[in-house]
Structure 1
């Protein structure tokens, strides 16, 4: 009995010059892909030393065909610490008014977050977003609304504070409320070469009247 032995077809054998060309092409492709991904990363990353230094080169790669409208972090990491305080003016039964001490609303939220493995989103974001809403709809020079949503932002911020403070302080009815905002820039790392932050900025809002309507629906 006779038979045939199947033999695998020999694979293609690349010549030395062809292997060199393929290797160079692969290196160029990998390097180009890496540089492109690095440019996109710097484009969507928060503002930093590298993105500022190579801004023109990054824009040349990304724009216009590869423009990105998203960010690496949503929202971008905060570069400022914003602390919101409030104080109220109360009125006694006899009609005498009294200005109370400042209450650290942000400090209370931080105290509730620190050491908590599952902090509430209310403690983390409610007050901060309320201030962002107000700040984006008011002129910081005279605290006048700059959009149709300005009054809504005032009511939102006021009601959040009043929900935490209550209707009375020391047995006296809350008559007015005032806010103070302290903004401090987060210091840059020592290796960045950037100058240190300026002194914290303090912004005081005008006194706002408080009425029964401001407590409507508050628990």
Structure 2
């Protein structure tokens, strides 16, 4: 009986060690230099690590957060009218700030969606940014937009589609009575904004201004989001 118990205990320890070793291997591999194997396995590894075990170098970033990100949204009603944009993120941030001890975590649904929308391998992102800067003036596509030297991977495309659907669905839940007659929206469009704050060195300069960039997500039918 004792020998059997020890065998079970030993097997459990070995299985636990194997799982722990596999976890650390995947985490380390996700931060390895870019390679064909890493690109091929990117979707599998990210699917396991996200959102709880995501690995990045943000802890050692030399620059603090300097952007204010959020979403606004507008709806299309059954009579064909389109509403004004509704601030989705603002009320959530206010709710969080008003309760410091037990803050609402609803705002994370927006921040996680934005992060997922921009999710990409750090090295791939830097390579794309560098190539876009180099070829912005000299190498353009037929539609006048800069070419992407490194196209989006299938996993990145899937992630962005999921993020667009998630942000649109959440926006729809925050816009109950925006249409006349109490009817619900038939479609919704979310718009992401990125407000680049003045640098820390200009924090006392009253003339320092922020820059706001807007990115419209595609219209989504309400029936497809429910």
TM-score, normalised to structure 2, is 0.49
Aligned mate of 1:88, from 75, 81, 84? 75
Residue in 2 aligned with 1:172?
183
The structure richer in strand per residue is: 1
Aligned mate of 1:199, from 211, 215, 219? 211
Over the aligned positions, Cα root-mean-square deviation in angstroms equals 3.5
CA distance in 1, matches of 2:118, 2:95: 24
TM-score, normalised to structure 1, is 0.50
The structure richer in helix per residue is: 2
Residue in 2 aligned with 1:98?
81
Residue in 1 aligned with 2:171?
161
Aligned mate of 2:158, from 137, 143, 148? 148
1:1-219 pair list within 5 angstroms: 72=59, 77-91=64-78, 96-118=79-101, 119-123=103-107, 125-136=108-119, 146-166=156-176, 169-170=179-180, 171-190=182-201, 199-211=211-223, 213-215=224-226
Local SS of the residue matching 2:185? strand
List per-residue Cα deviations over 1:13-57 (Å, max 9, x = no partner): xxxxxxxxxxxxxxxxxxxxxxxxxxxxxxxxxxxxxxxxxxxxx
Alpha-carbon shift at residue 122 of structure 1 (Å) = 2.0
List per-residue Cα deviations over 1:147-181 (Å, max 9, x = no partner): 23332222212221122224873412311111122
Local SS of the residue matching 1:136? coil
CA distance in 1, matches of 2:164, 2:202: 41
Unpaired segments ≥5 residues, structure 2: 1-55, 121-144, 146-151
Alpha-carbon shift at residue 99 of structure 1 (Å) = 0.6
Alpha-carbon shift at residue 120 of structure 1 (Å) = 1.6
Runs of 4+ in 1 over 6 A off after TM superposition: none
Equivalent residues of 2:164, 2:217 under 8 A apart: no
CA distance in 2, matches of 1:203, 1:162: 18
CA distance in 2, matches of 1:186, 1:172: 39
Equivalent residues of 2:179, 2:185 under 8 A apart: yes
CA distance in 1, matches of 2:197, 2:98: 22
Equivalent residues of 2:75, 2:186 under 8 A apart: yes
Unpaired segments ≥5 residues, structure 1: 1-68
Aligned pairs, number: 134
Q: Which has the larger radius of gyration?
A: 1
